[in-house]
Amino acid sequence: MSAILAIETSTLTASVALVRDGHVVLAKESGVNTHSETLLALVDECLTAGNLALADLSTIAVGAGPGSFTGLRIGMATVKGLCFAAGVSLTPVSSLAATAFASIPHCDDNNIIAAVLDARRKEIFVGLFAREGGKLARLGEEHVLAPAHLTELLGKELTEEQRSRLVMCGDGASKYAKVLKDVAPFVAKAAQIPTATAVAMLAQNLPAADALASAKPTYVRLPEAELKFPDGNTGGTFSAQAKPKT
């Protein structure tokens, strides 16, 4: 038996799914203010539905990003804790790949899929994927950029023939539809955000490996603090330099 528990926290939707032998036992989603409020309850629901304990799982998969910095940290920390406690392997999966994978039923077999997620700060996360049967092959690196720069990126990453087969999915593509309307067709029924079910389905096709020690969130861009203070905030609130003289 292959049983995969998957967690996706890269957006403001907490998503947890249990997939056993390629079939979804239960998938739960909840809109959240902070993922720590509901994540473990959703995990418990899924395991109960499958009559499984953590130790019965083949692996626990996690959407590694890009996405919400806080959400990714909570998701990764939660999965690492569960894996460590139960002695189960950890499998990280790209959240952009999960968005593209969830869109496959709404795309043609020869489509190149651009997963475009809202990165806030008037930017988008972008990942390009080609279909290989029911699997995905990533084309190039994942990027964060202003929507107006997507055409330039595609010119560098794809051939003209590949561009002719390009479709877009994701909440970033719908949010910036006016800017991106001439870039590629938007698959209206495709996934808007990554789901734990897609994370689990991708994880079952990955080579068996345990990333418990090495896995970390994929931010793609630097945290805001590092952007503001690239050399460190040596005069910050809690630094020795910032302490008032007595």
Same domain? 220 vs 167: no
Query: What does pTM read for this prediction?
Result: 0.89
Q: Environment class of residue 119 by beta-carbon count within 10 Å: exposed (0-12), middle (13-18) or buried (19+)?
A: buried
Q: Is residue 232 part of a domain?
A: no
Q: Is residue 201 part of a domain?
A: yes
Same domain? 156 vs 83: no
Quote the CA–CA distance of 45 and 69 in Å, as a whole number. Answer: 26
Quote the CA–CA distance of 152 and 222 in Å, as a whole number. Answer: 22
Q: Is residue 147 part of a domain?
A: yes
Same domain? 205 vs 154: no
Q: Is residue 244 part of a domain?
A: no
Q: What is the chain's pLDDT, residue by residue, as a tens digit (246 residues)?
A: 899 999 999 999 999 999 999 999 999 998 867 777 789 999 999 999 999 999 999 999 999 999 999 999 999 999 999 999 999 999 999 999 999 999 999 999 999 999 999 999 999 999 999 987 768 999 999 999 999 999 999 999 999 999 999 999 999 999 999 999 999 999 988 889 999 999 999 999 888 788 999 999 999 987 555 555 566 666 665 555 555 544
Name the domain count of the chain. 2
Residue span of the structural domain in which 65 resides: 3-95+195-227
Q: Is residue 159 part of a domain?
A: yes
Same domain? 83 vs 35: yes
Same domain? 134 vs 218: no
